A and B are shown apart, each in its own frame.
Chain A
Amino acid sequence: MAVVEMRRVTIVGHQSMLDQVMTVLQRLEILQIDDIDESLPSEDLSFSSRSVTGSDALLQLEEQAARVRSALDVLDKHFRKPAGLIETFAGTRFAVSESDYRRWSETEEHTLPAVSQAQQLRDRLLELQAQQRSVSEDIELLRPWRGLDVPADEIQDTRLFRIQLGEVTGRALDQLSEDLSAVSGAAGFAVISQASDVCSILLYYPKKLEEQLLIPLRRAEWRPAALPPVIGTVAQTIDMLEERLKAIAAEQDEVIQAIGTLVDERLALYAREDELRNRIEREQVKELLGFTQRLFVIRGWARRKDVETLNSAMAEVSPAIVVEDESPRPGELHPVDIENPPVIEPFEVVTRVAGLPMPHSLDPTPYLAPFFLIFFGMALGDAGYGIVLSIISLWLVKRVNAVGLGLKLLHMLAICGIGAVAAGVLTGSWFGDLFGLPPLWLNPMENPLPMLILSVALGMIQILTGLAIKGYDKIRNGQLVDAICDELMWIIFLIGLVMMLVAGSMSQWPQVAVVARYLAIGGGAGLIMTQGRHQKNPIKRLFSGVLSLYGLSGYMSDALSYSRLLALGMSGGVIGMVINDMGRRLLAIPLVGWIIAIALLVVGHLLNLLINLISAYVHSSRLQYVEFFTKFLEAGGKAFRPLAERHRYLVVKPDTASSEK
């Protein structure tokens, strides 16, 4: 339940065992490998490092991976991944058994046929697409000439006449006609077709007049036509080309169907791609190692509890491999991992999203978990929504085979659903006011003030908790005086002030006001006296002390920030009411009214749940990050990231009877 203790690990062995060692390490997923140049001061020993970039082994792996990926791209383009809306949203993974995974991915053999077939099919498809494009272009070029009912190859110059097909601007048609007849009665043209401003014409004129016609033709923007090869009349050719297009389309369909037969191989391809990527990573990591003539040296970090496993796994590879472990040098920044009991573990999402604490700092997860649960519950604030959220979350865990952070998030939402149920029961909110159940405590819609006070009070409690944690952390590190001067004084001062506020409404216990006054004055005086303790000059010291009381405005604004809990809870509640109100009105429609009403209620409440879920998560997180973490947390730790087998779309399940179908 804290930041996990890390051990510095060094592994030395003969280079012939390196590949085996790396494979074992990647399967175990317990060692983060460091760059040896950084972790071992260079004066200790000098190793040669090995550059892997561009090595044959790596290039070959990358080339193979690229081929598998392109096969998958072909598949994905024509056949959607077997995933619905929810799965796309949540990033589904597909479960495969360990034995299948190994069988599919160890060698190229299993996936090679599919990969090469996909490649062929893709190439064929590209070819067909190119053909399709060129045929369509030909058809477009020919279309204006469709009306030309003589075979195109018969349009040729005669001995005296030039006969040409071409285009002129539509506007210039009359002018051209006049110009031609002005030059000679023998020159003229026939309009074959006209589209917008382009006129396709058949032009004929006596060859000897060519010079005189240059200007009128240019004025009409004459462009001789360049027709694709025509067999028979243009109309016949177009028909033929269209037949061609149909044939191409039919073949495309066939090719796509053939691609469809590869869909069954998708998981195997995923497996192979993952394996290749993992091997690539294994190769790349070698760059971080140190080498002597015959030996390799791996430096890295492992969790203390894993060191034993590491030792025995290495001994199994070969007794000649040496594994050393030691504690981090003082001040050495090692990677950080956190560990919590199962109930709290899901809340690590909140911590991990913000970034892990520094190695010497505290893991905030156990402290934020109860607050997050309460805040999330209040912000969602509806028992019905809470139940639905918990059920959907648990269902999704199974449905999308969630792993890692996604799994934790779903588990956390499932737990937080319970918080929302509690809040809903207290405020009488079950799908808004759908069932008209009475609140166990009060309805914030009618009486929001107590809820507002509760929100801010919870905020105050969290802020004080944050200060207390900081104090505890300081004491742990031997800074007792600092803990008393900074955190304890503030805690006393703040408690005193809060009690003074409350005392007004507790007239039956006048002692409260007295105690409150002493606490506030004592805490305040303590702060004034101690906050300037780093200043030598007594006047400056006093001045710094007084100035430090300004921190109070920070605490106040932090506490008031929690009032959002009331607003978020109410906004969900009011929308729920609106939906219910609309539903009740629909009931008045005869016969079908109740069907529409139920549909509206289901869709409306689901949407409202979704919107409120986002708000509740985002704002509950924000309260931790901005108001809580700032009181005690030193962020900036680097997450522990062991060499591991990673999977993009798969979840590899250990072989059990149930998974062997």
Chain B
Amino acid sequence: MDLSNLGTFSAIVGAVVSVIFPGIASATAVGWVGQSAAGVVTEDPDKFGQVLLLQALPGTQGIYGFLAAFMIMLRIGVFGQMQVLTLQQGIMFLLAALPITIVGWKSALMQAKVSMAAVNIVVERPEEIGKALTFPAMVETYAVLAFLASLLMITRIPL
């Protein structure tokens, strides 16, 4: 095995996991909320717009994960001249991807549960949509922070 590529390999692994885990979690999360949302729309089609917002909320983790991956790809030159990284650099990218990978994954699932509860707010009191949106946003805070940490590291790792 040619060890000289292990650095680039590690960085790619970082990009891969940061897409996979938050992505799967967001898909699951959006799916769950979508099911309760669909139930609401069966009863009252006029609530479509409101519950759609709630469904979209836990979808952002997947996006953050993808963005982290994209920034890694940009930095290691997937779109142009592929860089050869040292093992140390590669592992740094891998580590930098971990915050959004793990926090994004877990927070999307938790946010889905809050969003589903918030769907019930909209059923009973559609005028309180603003409050219903705020609860899931509280969970998302930590995904945003994790993304921020990942992003700052990814953009600053010396090459």
Co-complex (A, B): yes
Chain A residues with CB under 8 A of B53: 614
Nearest A-chain residue to B59, judged by Cβ: A611
- Does residue A622 face the partner (Cβ distance < 8 Å to B)? yes
A611, B155: Cβ atoms closer than 8 Å: no
B49, A89: Cβ atoms closer than 8 Å: yes
- Does residue A354 face the partner (Cβ distance < 8 Å to B)? yes
Nearest B-chain residue to A350, judged by Cβ: B130
B137, A566: Cβ atoms closer than 8 Å: no
A448, B152: Cβ atoms closer than 8 Å: yes
Interface flags, A355-398, vs B, CB<8A=1, else 0 = 10000000000000000000000000000000000000000000
Interface of A is mostly: helix
B134, A581: Cβ atoms closer than 8 Å: no
Which of B2-10, B14-22, B143-151 lies at the interface with chain A?
B143-151
Interface flags, A32-44, vs B, CB<8A=1, else 0 = 0000000000000
Interface flags, B68-86, vs A, CB<8A=1, else 0 = 0011000000010000000
Which of A138-146, A238-246, A488-496, A567-575 lies at the interface with chain B?
A567-575
- Does residue A578 face the partner (Cβ distance < 8 Å to B)? yes
Nearest B-chain residue to A444, judged by Cβ: B155
User: Given the complex of chains A and B, what is the CA–CA distance between A446 and B145 in angstroms?
Assistant: 19
- Does residue A91 face the partner (Cβ distance < 8 Å to B)? yes
B130, A89: Cβ atoms closer than 8 Å: no
Given A564-B141, A566-B148, A618-B134, A611 contacting B79 (CB threshold 8 A): no
- Does residue A470 face the partner (Cβ distance < 8 Å to B)? no
Instruction: Say which size band chain B's interface belongs to.
Output: 20 to 34
Chain B residues with CB under 8 A of A625: 134
- Does residue A615 face the partner (Cβ distance < 8 Å to B)? yes
Given A564-B145, A574-B67, A574-B70, A354 contacting B46 (CB threshold 8 A): no
Chain B residues with CB under 8 A of A615: 60
Interface flags, B111-155, vs A, CB<8A=1, else 0 = 000000000000000010111011001101100110110011001
A563, B64: Cβ atoms closer than 8 Å: no
A621, B49: Cβ atoms closer than 8 Å: no
Contact residue among A446, A567, A570, A619 (Cβ-Cβ distance under 8 Å from B137): A619
Shortest distance from the beta carbon of B55 to any chain A beta carbon, whole Å = 11
Residues of A538-588 at the interface with B, using a CB-CB cut-off of 8 Å, are 561, 563-564, 566-568, 570-571, 574-575, 577-578, 581
B67, A581: Cβ atoms closer than 8 Å: no
User: Given the complex of chains A and B, what is the CA–CA distance between A353 and B127 in angstroms?
Assistant: 9
B63, A611: Cβ atoms closer than 8 Å: yes
A354, B144: Cβ atoms closer than 8 Å: no
Shortest distance from the beta carbon of A403 to any chain B beta carbon, whole Å = 13
A354, B57: Cβ atoms closer than 8 Å: no
B131, A353: Cβ atoms closer than 8 Å: yes
B70, A578: Cβ atoms closer than 8 Å: yes
B56, A353: Cβ atoms closer than 8 Å: no
Shortest distance from the beta carbon of A179 to any chain B beta carbon, whole Å = 53
B49, A445: Cβ atoms closer than 8 Å: no
Given A88-B48, A618-B137, A626-B138, A571 contacting B64 (CB threshold 8 A): yes
Chain B residues with CB under 8 A of A566: 148
Nearest A-chain residue to B148, judged by Cβ: A567
User: Given the complex of chains A and B, what is the CA–CA distance between A60 and B131 in angstroms?
Assistant: 38
B46, A567: Cβ atoms closer than 8 Å: no
Given A567-B148, A619-B137, A619-B144, A574 contacting B130 (CB threshold 8 A): no
User: Given the complex of chains A and B, what is the CA–CA distance between A571 and B140 in angstroms?
Assistant: 14
Chain A residues with CB under 8 A of B134: 618, 621-622, 625
- Does residue B158 face the partner (Cβ distance < 8 Å to A)? no
- Does residue A90 face the partner (Cβ distance < 8 Å to B)? yes
Shortest distance from the beta carbon of B60 to any chain A beta carbon, whole Å = 6
B63, A353: Cβ atoms closer than 8 Å: no
Max chain A C-beta neighbours (<10 A), residue from B131, B134, B145: B134
Chain B residues with CB under 8 A of A581: 79
B56, A611: Cβ atoms closer than 8 Å: yes
User: Given the complex of chains A and B, what is the CA–CA distance between A618 and B52 in angstroms?
Assistant: 14
B67, A571: Cβ atoms closer than 8 Å: yes
Shortest distance from the beta carbon of B27 to any chain A beta carbon, whole Å = 15
Contact residue among A88, A568, A618 (Cβ-Cβ distance under 8 Å from B45): A88
User: Given the complex of chains A and B, what is the CA–CA distance between A622 and B136 in angstroms?
Assistant: 10
A563, B71: Cβ atoms closer than 8 Å: no
Shortest distance from the beta carbon of B7 to any chain A beta carbon, whole Å = 23
Given A91-B46, A626-B138, A571 contacting B79 (CB threshold 8 A): no
Chain A residues with CB under 8 A of B131: 353-355
A452, B152: Cβ atoms closer than 8 Å: yes
Chain A residues with CB under 8 A of B127: 405
Shortest distance from the beta carbon of A570 to any chain B beta carbon, whole Å = 6
Shortest distance from the beta carbon of A558 to any chain B beta carbon, whole Å = 12
Chain B residues with CB under 8 A of A626: 138
Chain B residues with CB under 8 A of A621: 130, 133-134, 137
Given A445-B155, A614-B53, A622-B138, A571 contacting B63 (CB threshold 8 A): yes
Shortest distance from the beta carbon of A478 to any chain B beta carbon, whole Å = 34
Chain B residues with CB under 8 A of A446: 155
Max chain B C-beta neighbours (<10 A), residue from A452, A561, A567: A567
Chain B residues with CB under 8 A of A355: 131
A89, B138: Cβ atoms closer than 8 Å: no
Nearest A-chain residue to B53, judged by Cβ: A614
Interface flags, A143-170, vs B, CB<8A=1, else 0 = 0000000000000000000000000000
A618, B133: Cβ atoms closer than 8 Å: yes
User: Given the complex of chains A and B, what is the CA–CA distance between A89 and B45 in angstroms?
Assistant: 10
A614, B57: Cβ atoms closer than 8 Å: yes
User: Given the complex of chains A and B, what is the CA–CA distance between A564 and B148 in angstroms?
Assistant: 7
Nearest A-chain residue to B127, judged by Cβ: A405
User: Given the complex of chains A and B, what is the CA–CA distance between A353 and B129 in angstroms?
Assistant: 8
Nearest B-chain residue to A625, judged by Cβ: B134
User: Given the complex of chains A and B, what is the CA–CA distance between A12 and B2 in angstroms?
Assistant: 96
User: Given the complex of chains A and B, what is the CA–CA distance between A626 and B133 in angstroms?
Assistant: 13
Shortest distance from the beta carbon of B10 to any chain A beta carbon, whole Å = 22
User: Given the complex of chains A and B, what is the CA–CA distance between A355 and B131 in angstroms?
Assistant: 9
Nearest A-chain residue to B132, judged by Cβ: A353
Shortest distance from the beta carbon of B49 to any chain A beta carbon, whole Å = 4
Chain B residues with CB under 8 A of A567: 144-145, 147-148, 151
Given A91-B46, A614-B57, A575 contacting B67 (CB threshold 8 A): yes
Contact residue among A91, A568, A611 (Cβ-Cβ distance under 8 Å from B144): A568
A563, B60: Cβ atoms closer than 8 Å: no
Nearest B-chain residue to A578, judged by Cβ: B70
Interface flags, A446-470, vs B, CB<8A=1, else 0 = 1011001000000000000000000
A575, B63: Cβ atoms closer than 8 Å: yes
List 20 A-B pairs, Cβ < 8 Å: A89-B49, A91-B49, A353-B129, A353-B131, A354-B130, A354-B131, A448-B152, A452-B148, A564-B144, A567-B144, A567-B145, A571-B64, A611-B59, A614-B53, A614-B57, A619-B137, A619-B140, A621-B133, A622-B138, A626-B138
List of 10 A-B pairs having minimum Cβ-Cβ separation, nearest first: A353-B130, A567-B148, A89-B49, A564-B144, A618-B137, A574-B67, A622-B137, A567-B144, A618-B133, A567-B147
Excluding A563-B145, A577-B70, 20 further A-B contacts by CB distance (< 8 Å) are A88-B49, A89-B48, A89-B52, A91-B49, A354-B130, A355-B131, A405-B127, A445-B155, A452-B148, A563-B148, A564-B144, A567-B145, A571-B64, A571-B147, A574-B71, A581-B79, A614-B56, A618-B57, A619-B144, A621-B137
A residues in contact (CB < 8 Å) with B = 88-91, 349, 352-355, 405, 445-446, 448-449, 452, 561, 563-564, 566-568, 570-571, 574-575, 577-578, 581, 611, 614-615, 618-619, 621-622, 625-626
